Structure 1
Amino acid sequence: MSYYRPLVQCSPDRPADAVTLAGGWCWFSQVAVHTRDAKPRIATASDLPRAIFENLARPRPEIAGMGMDAPRIMGILNVTPDSFSDGGLFDDPAAALAHAQAMQAAGTDIIDIGGESTRPGAADVSVSEEINRTAPVIAAIRAQSDVAISIDTRKAPVAQAAIAAGAGLVNDVAALGYDPTLAVVTAQAGLPVCLMHAQGDPATMQQNPKYDDVLLDVYDFLAARIAAAEAAGIAREQIVVDPGIGFGKTLAHNLTLLRGLSLFHSLGCPILLGASRKRFIGTIGGAEAAAGRMPGSVAVALHGVRQGVQILRVHDTFETRQAIELEMAINGTMTQ
C-alpha cells in the first residue's frame, strides 16, 4: 500500500501547476510516496491516484461554524483538579468562565472544555463527576456568548449533557473506541467529531509505546476510525482527525509525526494538532514546568500552520494568535 504526503508550501511564489491544499492557505506540487518496505520517493501531484488527489485538493466544509480556510485556534479549558498543565486553576466555575472570556478576547475560535484529565498516569473520573464539572460551565459560557464550544470526553452521557448545555463538537481522545454509544449520540445530534489516535489509555499509554512505523500506523488507525464513524452515521464532512501527539508516543514518535503531519490531509478531513505544553517540548526546550513551555508550543503550532493544519489546540491563545497573524502576513495570506 502507498501513502501520499504532500510536500506543503505556503510561499506566495507558487508555480502554475501547484494545487491548493484542502481549499486553504497552502499549496503543493510534489508528494512523498511512503510504503512500509522502502524509503519515500518523490512524485508530482499529477501522478496522484484520483481519490487521493481529490482528498488533498477538496476544500474542507465548516466545522462547528468555523471555516477551514484559515488556521483556527481551539483554546483549552480544563475544569479539572489534576490536568498536567492547568489542573486546579479553572475547576471553580467562576474562574472557568473568566478564563473562557479571556480566551475569546484573545481571538480564540472554539473553546474545548474537559472534565477528565488524560495526562499520562491519570485515573478515570466517574460520569456524574465529569458532567458536574463540564455542563454548568458550558451553559454559563453559552448564556453569554455564541463562541463555538467543544466537549473533550470519551463518554456518551457526558457528551449528551454537554450538547444539551450548548456544545457543538465532540472531541474524543479515544476516537469513539472507549464508549461505542458516543458515536450514536454524536450522529443523532448531527455534530462534528474529532477522532484522536492514542496507544493505550491515559493510565498506561506512556509505558514503552511501540510502533512498526508510527506515521503509517497512526494513519491506518485514523482511516479505520473514520470508517467506523461513518458506519455509525457521522458524515466524513463532519470528521476531524488528530494524530495524538504525546498519547502513547515517545519523543522520537512525536517528532516523526510532526515531520509527517501533511500525510493526514490524504484522509480528506481537517487536521487538529494538540501539542501545547507537552512534555517533549520541555525536554527539547529545557522547560521542566509545563507553564514554561509557551515559546516551544508556539513554535510547534507555527509548524502546524506551515503544514496546513486547520485547528490548533493550545493553552496560550493570545501568543499563538499573534504568531499566526505574523506568519500569515509574511506569507501574504491574512487570516479571516
Structure 2
Amino acid sequence: MQLRWGQRTHVMGVINLTPDSFSDGGRFDRPERALAQARMLVAQGVDLLDLGAQSTRPGAEDVGADAEVARLLPALQLIREAFADLEQRPLISVDTFRAPVAEAALEAGADWINDVSGGRQDPAMLPLVAAAGCPYVLMHSRGDSQTMDALTDYGAHGVVDGVLTELQRASERALSAGIRREQLIWDPGLGFAKSTEQNIALLRGLPRLRSEGIPLLVGPSRKRFIGAVLNEARAKARLWGTAAVVAQCVSAGVDVVRVHDGAPIVQVARMADALWRGSH
C-alpha cells in the first residue's frame, strides 16, 4: 500500500516492544502480544504500524543495537507474515535512530524508517536510507533522552521558526547524503526538547511547517504536555486530549498522526477530514 498525500489523514498505530515506554511499556514486549495488538489496530482502521524497540522517553536507558534488534525482529517478522496475503496490507514503520537496526528491519520487510534523531545520532543512517529508497520520517529533536529537557531555548524567534530552521538543515544533510526529497516526511517532534507552552505553539504553527511541501507526521499521543494541560498524570487517561490535538492536526493539513489508540482516533480523523478536507 502506498499513501496518497493530501487526500486524507492517515493514522499510524504505535506498538512499543519495550519494557519501559512511558505509556504502555511491557504490554507488547513478546512477539505474540505485538501481533495481537497489530491485528487489533489494523481491524480498527489504522494505515501504518510503527514498531519501536528502544524507548525514547525522557531519561530512557539506551539499550544498544544488539538488544534493540533482538527485541524488534521476532515481532516484525511475525507481523509481516501475518499480513502478507492482504491485498491492502498495512505499512510497517520501524522507530529507530540506529543504522544497523534500520538495515535489519528493512531486510526483514519494514517499509519506513522513523528516526527520532533526524539522522543526528548515527552518521550511517542517511546513506543507508538513501540506498534503500524508503520513506524516512525525519523528526526534530535535540540532544538525547538524557539531555533533551534542558535544550528548550529557541531564542527570540521562538519554537516554530527554530523547529522549521532545524528541520530544513536536517533535510539538507539528508539530501546531500543521497536521500530524495520525495522520501522525506517531517515530524516536528512534540515533547522532544519542548516545554508545554512550546508544544502548543508548535501545534498552532503547523500550517507554516506544512506549507514547505514536505508531508507532515505528528505524534501527540498521550504525551506529557497533554497531561500538564489536563492535570492528568495517567498517560492512558489522555485520550480526549490526544483527540483534540489530532483535530488540530487535521485542520492544519497534517498527513499522518501517530497514536496508541486506534479506533477512537481513526473516527476523529475521519470526522475531522469530512469537516476540513471535504473527504468522507
TM range (shorter): over 0.9
Matches within 5 A, 1:199-214: 199-207=142-150, 209-212=152-155, 213-214=158-159
In structure 1, the partner of 2:102 is: 159
2:208 matched to 1:263?
yes
Q: Deviations over 1:20-54 (max 9, x none)?
A: xxxxxxxxxxxxxxxxxxxxxxxxxxxxxxxxxxx
In structure 1, the partner of 2:56 is: 118
2:172 matched to 1:234?
no
Question: How far is the alpha carbon of 1:329 from its aligned partner?
Answer: 3.0
In structure 2, the partner of 1:171 is: 114
In structure 1, the partner of 2:128 is: 185
**What TM-score do the two structures reach when normalised by structure 1?**
0.79
Amino acid at match of 2:81: A
Higher helix share: 2
The SS at the match of 1:187 is helix
Which consecutive residues of structure 2, in runs of 5 or more, have no partner in the other structure?
84-88
| Match 1:218 to one of 147, 158, 163 | 163
Contact 1:155 1:178 in 2 (8 A): yes
RMSD of aligned Cα (Å): 1.2
Contact 2:8 2:277 in 1 (8 A): no
In structure 2, the partner of 1:287 is: 232
> In structure 2, what is the Cα distance between the partners aligned to 1:263 and 1:279?
24
| Match 1:109 to one of 43, 47, 52 | 47
Question: How far is the alpha carbon of 1:326 from its aligned partner?
Answer: 2.0
Contact 2:250 2:276 in 1 (8 A): no
> In structure 2, what is the Cα distance between the partners aligned to 1:174 and 1:327?
30
In structure 2, the partner of 1:243 is: 188
2:170 matched to 1:197?
no
In structure 2, the partner of 1:17 is: none
The SS at the match of 1:198 is coil
Contact 1:192 1:234 in 2 (8 A): no
Over the matched positions of the two proteins, sequence identity in percent amounts to 42
| Match 1:305 to one of 250, 254, 257 | 250
Which consecutive residues of structure 1, in runs of 5 or more, have no partner in the other structure?
1-63
| Match 1:317 to one of 262, 267, 272 | 262
Contact 1:151 1:167 in 2 (8 A): yes
2:189 matched to 1:274?
no
Amino acid at match of 1:249: K
Amino acid at match of 1:124: D
**What TM-score do the two structures reach when normalised by structure 2?**
0.94
The SS at the match of 1:73 is strand
> In structure 1, what is the Cα distance between the partners aligned to 2:20 and 2:163?
28
Question: How far is the alpha carbon of 1:124 from its aligned partner?
Answer: 0.7
| Match 1:90 to one of 6, 21, 28 | 28
Amino acid at match of 1:120: P
> In structure 2, what is the Cα distance between the partners aligned to 1:231 and 1:128?
29
2:4 matched to 1:67?
yes
> In structure 1, what is the Cα distance between the partners aligned to 2:9 and 2:146?
32
> In structure 2, what is the Cα distance between the partners aligned to 1:187 and 1:199?
23
Q: Deviations over 1:208-246 (max 9, x none)?
A: 621112110110000011111111111111100011000
Contact 1:80 1:91 in 2 (8 A): yes
In structure 1, the partner of 2:74 is: 136
Question: How far is the alpha carbon of 1:327 from its aligned partner?
Answer: 2.1
> In structure 2, what is the Cα distance between the partners aligned to 1:118 and 1:72?
23
Contact 2:210 2:252 in 1 (8 A): no
In structure 1, the partner of 2:86 is: none
**324-333 vs 122-131, which moves further:** 324-333
Contact 1:136 1:165 in 2 (8 A): no
